[in-house]
Amino acid sequence: MEEKEELRAVKADGLVIDEYWWWTAASAAQFGWGISKFRRGFAGDSHLMPFKAVAVASLLVGGAASAAVASLRVFGVRSVEDAKSLGRNVRTGLGVRPRGT
């Protein structure tokens, strides 16, 4: 088997930063921007109101997706096989019978 490549950013001074911090920062930025746009309300031409609604919704959904990826990265789920293994472990821990394949 091949070893999995760790996704880390290494700076010149040897400092190692895990990848999930970037996903966490992106999630916080998108949520913050979406909430600020939502709270600001509607201003301007009424023809642009649907565009703003879609823009705010996409910021909030994007923030949720970034947070989900960050949480998967924190727990070490980097591939489909990792996700399957995690599912098997959760099912075993709950006492649920394992699936066929």
Q: What percent of the chain is predicted at pLDDT more than 70?
A: 77
pTM for this prediction: 0.62
Average pLDDT value for residue range 57-81: 87
In this prediction, residue 9 carries a pLDDT of 54
Would you tell me how many other CB atoms lie within 10 Å of the CB of residue 70?
20
Instruction: For residue 10, list its beta bridge partners.
Output: 16
Is the predicted pLDDT of residue 64 greater than 80, yes or no? yes
In this prediction, residue 4 carries a pLDDT of 46
CB contact set of 24 (below 8 Å; sequence gap of 6+): 66, 67, 70
DSSP string, 74-95: HTT--SHHHHHHHHHHHHHHHT
Is the predicted pLDDT of residue 38 greater than 50, yes or no? yes
Is the predicted pLDDT of residue 92 greater than 50, yes or no? yes
- Reported as a pLDDT band with limits 50, 70 and 90, residue 45 is confident
